[in-house]
Amino acid sequence: MSINNDFLGTGWSFPPTFSRLSYSVEMVSDEKDIHESLWVLFSTQLGERVMVPQYGSTLTQMVFRTLNTTLTTQLKNAVWQAILNWEPRITVDAIDVDIDSTSYSIALIGVAYTIRRTNTRSNMVYPFYYAEATIPSNAP
């Protein structure tokens, strides 16, 4: 018995890519479509889409804040809320926020999720660039 993955959907690749041979837009399906939909969701500001102003996340509103425990909690909540409102195909298993040790201005937001229809587990890491960087005194 095969599983019908129509529920997972098909959409444009992100960023949009066009094929010169077929004169069409490159499409992605299934798990890749979910992954790219999450990327677009996190990258979209509330109000940015004219026809659907509620679509997106509040991540960009937090760019100039100091990275501390409060901001980490707010980032997790913003991601969770965006997924809850706009991505019905998945269930969130965990959201983690880690500071990138190679840069003083990037927090890596890790989202572990399960695709509801297929019970497949997956994850993604979204880089959140914040402007309020704390640079150690021994940095060059």
Q: Which of 34, 42, 126 is nearest to 87 (CA)?
A: 34
SS3 110: strand
- Output the CATH code of domain 5-129: 3.10.450.40
DSSP conformation class of 8: G
How many other CB atoms sit within 10 Å of the CB of residue 71? 17
Which sequence spans correspond to the domains of the chain?
5-129
Q: What pLDDT, on a 0 to 100 scale, did the predictor assign at position 135? A: 46
pLDDT in tens, 49-90: 999 999 999 999 998 888 888 989 999 999 999 999 999 999
Six-digit token string for 14: 């992100």
Give pLDDT tens digits for 88-119: 999 999 999 998 777 768 889 999 999 988 89
- Among candidates 136, 135, 128, 132, which has minimal Cα distance to 65? 132
